[in-house]
Structure 1
Amino acid sequence: MKKNKKVFLIVFVIFMLIMLWIGYDISQRTTFPGSKGNLKERITTGEE
């Protein structure tokens, strides 16, 4: 394998690991909208 391919592969793997880590971090900080209680009542009254 040429040096350029090795560098590209290493950069790609690092990039994908960072993107997976960011996605996991965001998913842990947010909640699924369907898991919140009284969703219909909050939509109609506008209260949070």
Structure 2
Amino acid sequence: MQKNKKLFLLLFVIFMLIMLWIGYDISQRTTFPGSKGNLKERISTGQDQ
């Protein structure tokens, strides 16, 4: 049982490292929506609603 716990812990740590790496990679490729200027497409005139 102890060997299974160590294996599970190792796989969990590897999985978490991969997920953190993916999250970091995605965050570097995208920009925060609030940092963009108010484009004409984003300004709602109320006619579309």
Q: TM-score range by the shorter chain?
A: 0.7 to 0.9
Aligned residues: 44
2:13 equivalent in structure 1: 13
Partner amino acid, structure 1, of 2:42 = I
Structure 1 stretches (4+) deviating beyond 4 angstroms? none
RMSD value, Cα: 1.9
Q: Structure 1 unaligned runs (5+)?
A: none
Q: Structure 2 unaligned runs (5+)?
A: 45-49
Distance 2:43 2:13 in 1: 47
Q: Give the alignment's TM-score, normalised by structure 2.
A: 0.77
Partner amino acid, structure 2, of 1:8 = F
The share of aligned pairs that are identical, in percent, is 80
Q: Relative contact order (C-alpha < 8 Å, sep 6+): which is higher?
A: 1
Higher CA-based Rg: 2
Partner amino acid, structure 2, of 1:43 = R
Partner amino acid, structure 2, of 1:42 = E
